């Protein structure tokens, strides 16, 4: 096997592993329960979900309005978790949404209201896989589910970022093929990023929660392939 082909094979193997679809379980939570009310900006409830009720799957996600709010009520039952920390991930990637509390009073219930636009500073639409966990002294709770931010993606900031990434990625691939191989790798990554954003915005989750990462990986592999195929220059 030629060295170039061997290197390509070693890169393609982890990409194939990423193509294994994630489970589409129904809004599962462990050691806790959660109720959500999703509201429009005018306060009208247009979606509700309870852990384990069948909603929050990829096929039937929880609908959320960027201009609206989400009210939540959660309980740990008899489980008391002190000195806990919590975090939220999107598509299995950590987000800045994290924190913690001593919970000196030993509370097992909680509630609150989230203004969606306070978390997302510009309008975002699309299908997202969200997971979270809270753990500390006494136990832990974790869960996941699919959320659909309603609205038209066209004209939003993420749309133009995605389109720009795809165009620059294509230019980078061409420049890498004609000139320096590094441009091909950068172009592949940009193309994968733009593709991942488009798939999210238009809710095309071909391999479940791993779809965006798979798109990035495929873009990277494409860039490397183009770099290897680049004609030798004297």
**Residue pLDDT, tens place only, 78-92:** 888 899 898 889 998
Whichever domain contains 98, its CATH number is 2.70.50
Per-residue model confidence (pLDDT) at position 128: 95
Looking at the structure, do residues 39 and 145 belong to the same domain, yes or no?
A: yes
On whether residue 26 sits in a domain, the answer given is no
Domain, as residue range, for 192: 3-21+154-229
Per-residue model confidence (pLDDT) at position 221: 95
Q: Report DSSP state, residue 56.
A: S
On whether residue 234 sits in a domain, the answer given is no
Q: Are 166 and 216 in contact (CB under 8 A)?
A: no
Of 99, 123, 149, at which residue does a domain stop?
149
Looking at the structure, do residues 121 and 169 belong to the same domain, yes or no?
A: no
Looking at the structure, do residues 123 and 184 belong to the same domain, yes or no?
A: no
Q: How does the average pLDDT of the chain come out, rounded? A: 84
Which residue numbers in the chain have pLDDT < 50? 1-25, 234
Phi and psi at residue 101, in whole multiples of 5°?
A: -160, 150
Of 149, 171, 196, at which residue does a domain stop?
149
Element (H, E) at 74: strand 69-75
pTM for this predicted structure? 0.82
Per-residue model confidence (pLDDT) at position 10: 36
């Amino acid at each position: 096997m030629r060295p170039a082909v061997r290197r390509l094979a070693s890169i393609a193997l982890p990409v194939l592993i990423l193509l294994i679809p994630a489970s589409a379980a129904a809004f599962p939570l462990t050691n806790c329960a959660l109720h959500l009310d999703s509201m429009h900006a005018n306060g009208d409830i247009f979606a509700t979900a309870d852990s384990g009720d069948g909603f929050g799957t990829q096929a039937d996600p929880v609908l959320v309005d960027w201009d609206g709010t989400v009210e939540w009520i959660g309980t740990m039952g008899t489980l008391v978790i002190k000195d806990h920390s919590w975090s939220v991930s999107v598509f299995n990637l950590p987000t800045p949404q994290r924190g913690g509390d001593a919970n000196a009073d030993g509370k097992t219930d909680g509630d609150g209201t989230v203004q969606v636009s306070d978390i997302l500073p510009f309008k975002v639409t699309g299908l997202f896989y969200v997971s979270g966990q809270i753990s500390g002294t006494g136990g832990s709770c974790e869960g996941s589910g699919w959320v659909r931010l309603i609205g038209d993606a066209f004209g939003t900031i993420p749309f133009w970022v995605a389109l720009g990434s795809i165009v620059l990625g294509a230019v980078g691939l061409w420049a890498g093929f004609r000139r320096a191989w590094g441009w091909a790798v950068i172009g592949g990554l940009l193309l994968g990023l733009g593709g991942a954003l488009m798939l999210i915005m238009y809710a095309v989750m071909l391999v479940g929660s791993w779809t965006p990462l798979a798109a990035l990986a495929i873009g990277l592999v494409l860039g490397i392939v183009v770099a290897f195929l680049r004609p030798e220059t004297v």
